[in-house]
Structure 1
Amino acid sequence: MFATLRQPTQSHSLITLSLQKPSIPKTEQLSFPNLPSSKHEEISHLSVTKPLHVASLLKPRKHLVECNAYEANRSQPLDINIELPSVKSETAKRVKIGIYFATWWALNVVFNIYNKKVLNAFPYPWLTSTLSLAAGSLMMLISWASRVAHPPKTDLQFWKSLLPVAVAHTIGHVAATVSMSKVAVSFTHIIKSGEPAFTVLVSRFLLGDTFPMPVYMSLIPIIGGCALAAVTELNFNMIGFMGAMISNVAFVFRNIFSKKGMNGQSVSGMNYYACLSMLSLLLLTPFAIAVEGPQVWAAGWQKAVSQIGPNFVWWVAAQSIFYHLYNQVSYMSLDQISPLTFSVGNTMKRISVIVSSIIIFHTPIQPVNALGAAIAILGTFIYSQAKV
């Protein structure tokens, strides 16, 4: 049953009650003589019909708020866990990435300088490339043996997935070295700044990937700038030009194979590149011996030492060590940053290499050639932004 409450005046409250009571067949009259009344209304009786309606008129409610204060127990500290972003950790991360970038660019500049010096005196790029991989492999084996670095946990599947990456890396490394043995360092890196164009073309026509329109539009300044720089290059060489182009294509496939092969692998960037160098060294050594050969190397080495002196040995050691170090730091950087940030950093790296090589080697450059290089690098930067 339901009780309906009627409120005679605004100063009285009512209470609704739900009663469980058998139905009453006929109307009953209930009188409440003590109910208050006013001159505007008169309450004589309340009627109860079926279903039973009970109207109960009460006194006005008083709203009471009870506050109880207690003294805190000083012997028990408050257990409040509030997680706030760590400003120090965020700042430390940015500083760490900045150090990675600065080290990466500096090592790359030093490598290119010593590599060009070695190739000018010892024009055997196959042996030079082999020595670069051998130095890095030896350094990492010593680091693992001495526990300076923890060796990676690999299996047969890891090396199988690494094999196509190593093949592409070997071709790209040798092709770039061949290019720098024939043309200026700045020209090689201007052509290599067109690598994003090959990435888009290979991904589009071989893998079926599609890209936003801004990505395709960014290829126009890249291709146009590289073409302008190549046409106006004073010391143009077809072998040097083709070496840089082949290096671009090879590194595109290296990146594609690397992404597919490293899915699910838990190998750090440093150890991953170390394994890549060792496998590339095994692949490159027999080809280097077949193409150039120990007899040619011995004659060229004696000639270089007689012309340069003992410093030539230091040049070879430096270019080999710095090649591994700059690649290792780049892979370590990729572990800490996004691919977009890495791409922007790679673009800025090329600028530093081009400018430093022009200054150190006094490379003659025309204004039109410099304009072409600037357009190509600008296109590469636009590509990195549009690819997000």
Structure 2
Amino acid sequence: MLTLNLLPSTNVTLSKSRPNYPVSPSPFQPNLGSRNQKLRTLSFTKPLIQNGHPFRSSANQDSQISGPRLDFSRILRHPSGVSSRNTTQILEAASGTPEEVSPDGEIEVSKPKVNMKLVLIFGLWYFQNIVFNIFNKKVLNIFPYPWLLASFQLFCGAVWMLILWSSKLQPCPKINKSFIIALLGPALFHTIGHISACVSFSKVAVSFTHVIKSAEPVFTVVFSSFLGDTYPLTVWLSILPIVFGCSLAAVTEVSFNFGGLSGAMISNVGFVLRNIFSKRSLQNFKEVDGLNLYGWITIISFIYLFPVAVFVEGSQWVAGYHKALGTIGNPNTFYLWVLISGIFYHLYNQSSYQALDDISPLTFSVGNTMKRVVVIVATVLVFRNPVRPLNALGSAIAIFGTFLYSQATVKKPKKEAVEKKD
């Protein structure tokens, strides 16, 4: 067995109890006799490790067992001066199960490194994002009215959340007037970010929009610095390849359009301000989980966007609808594309919030960076967009800079936490 190879043999002591423990019970200690009987039967000498070698503990270092289970907390607090890490390694080898020490000294069985639920969430997140980008672009190619399409996507999300709340599949949060007021700012910036991205998708290739949207960390650092936040030099250095890569990709983009570029840039501004204002205005509503928070932001964003969409392009919808049906031939296909784009827009955002609840910010940032790579590759393959070598190089540099930024920003709060603890 594995434990026999990892642990030295344990000497079972069947000798009489030590002289300092009387064998016969005294009037003042009526339970001592039975206790010593158990000690004679179950006591053993615990092998300890010092400098990587096993050695015998002295008489006052024997670990006692007074029942069928090991008292792990006593072992960890053993006065022999052996570190809890070595002791934990012994226990892991003996049990065959990875264990970790909790803050109160107890030993807990750690979760498996591969979490199948997390793998499923990441897979859905990537798949849903790819499906949304493909069908969103398909619709915009024959029906170039992003304001109506963006409004419909928010409408689908609002209906989806109402179904979850009414069926009790998702607990409905208790809201009040102050919560709605706090949501008005983040929902406004979310609306700006979403419609600007949709406008960009309608004018340029999906891959180009995502490359420009990878520059979002640049706006985060700049705006947060204006609001008083400070960043180490590594963070500032990490945004340099993002700026250079996006610039190189924009200059060499075959489908370059100033409207598409500006739309992606405005989208970055909107989503960055949404995140900043969400952190500042919603910090007192921590009882509302991420999914419910996004649901209410979606509902308010739809209320913001649809009246403006009617004003901006409402007069063109009927003519555009008939032209789209004439282009695609089958009306049901057009309806299906629009419905898929709306449903999967909300689903991929929902999966991202669920992933963020289960993983660290660093893992989420790396996953988000890789998601952008997967989406770019998938859309290039589906729509067969021509990609020049310098364009591909610029895109790779920008995304690599985003990865460096995620590494630098996650290390910052850890360092501050250590300094605060010291």
Shift of 1:368: 0.5
C-alpha distance in 2, partners of 1:297/1:335? 40
Q: Distance in 1 between matches of 2:200 and 2:122?
A: 25
Runs (5+) with no aligned partner, structure 1: 1-62
Shift in alpha-carbon separation, 1:191–1:66, aligned structure 2, 3 A: closer
C-alpha distance in 1, partners of 2:309/2:407?
39
Letter of the aligned partner of 2:408 in structure 1?
A
Q: Name the amino acid aligned to 1:348.
A: M
Using the alignment, how far apart are the partners of 1:84 and 1:282 within structure 2? 51
Equivalent position of 2:334 in the other structure: 312
What CA distance in whole angstroms lies between the structure 2 residues aligned with 1:171 and 1:237? 20
Following the alignment from structure 1 to structure 2, what is the Cα–Cα distance between the partners of residues 255 and 64?
Answer: 69
Aligned-CA RMSD value: 2.1
Identity value in percent:
50
1:336 to 332, 346, 358: 358
Aligned counterpart for 1:183 among listed residues 204, 213, 219 = 204
Partner of 1:252: 272
Q: Deviations over 1:313-356 (max 9, x none)?
A: 10000000000000111112222222222211111111011010
Give 5+ residue unaligned stretches, structure 2: 1-17, 24-32, 42-65, 73-105, 412-422
The structure 1 segments of at least 4 consecutive aligned residues displaced by more than 4 Å after TM superposition are 63-67, 76-83
Instruction: Tell me which of the two structures has the higher relative contact order, counting C-alpha pairs closer than 8 angstroms and 6 or more residues apart.
Output: 1
Q: Is 1:374 aligned with 2:408?
A: no
Deviation at 1:306, TM superposition (A): 2.5
Q: Classify the secondary structure of the residue corresponding to 1:132.
A: helix
303, 308, 328: which one aligns with 2:323: 303
Residue 226 (str. 1) matches residue 246 (str. 2): yes
Aligned partner of 1:323 among 345, 352, 357: 345
Query: How far did residue 208 of structure 1 move?
Result: 2.2
| Alpha-carbon displacement from aligned partner over 1:215-235 (angstroms, at most 9, x marks no partner) | 111111000000000000011
The equivalent residue for 1:196 is: 217
CA distance in 2, matches of 1:353, 1:307: 26
Residue 280 of structure 1 is matched in structure 2 by 301
Q: Hey, what's the Cα distance between the residues in 1 that align with 2:333 and 2:401?
A: 40
How big is the shift at 1:182?
Answer: 0.2
2:84 maps to which residue?
Answer: none
Q: Distance in 2 between matches of 1:177 and 1:64?
A: 84
Map 1:2-81 to 2 at 5 A. Answer: 68=23, 70-72=36-38, 78=68
Determine the C-alpha separation between the residues in 2 that align with 1:81 and 1:165.
Answer: 51
Secondary structure at the counterpart of residue 85 of structure 1: strand
Match of 2:161 in 1: 140
TM-score where L is the length of structure 2: 0.72
TM-score by length of 1: 0.79
Question: In structure 1, how many angstroms separate the alpha carbons of the residues matched to 2:197 and 2:376?
Answer: 15
Q: 1 CA distance for matches of 2:152 and 2:407? A: 36
Q: 2:125 aligns with which of 93, 96, 104?
A: 104
Provide the rounded CA distance (Å) in 1 between the counterparts of 2:318 and 2:162: 27
Q: 1:64 to 1:127 in 2, by over 3 A?
A: closer
Query: How many pairs were matched up?
Result: 321
Q: 2:166, 2:20 → 1: CA distance?
A: 75
* Matched residue type, 2:344: F
* Structure 2 residue aligned with 1:153: 174
Indicate how the Cα distance of structure 1 residues 92 and 65 shifts in structure 2: closer, same or farther if over 3 A, else same: closer
Rg larger in structure: 1
Aligned counterparts of 1:189 and 1:129: Cα–Cα separation in 2: 17
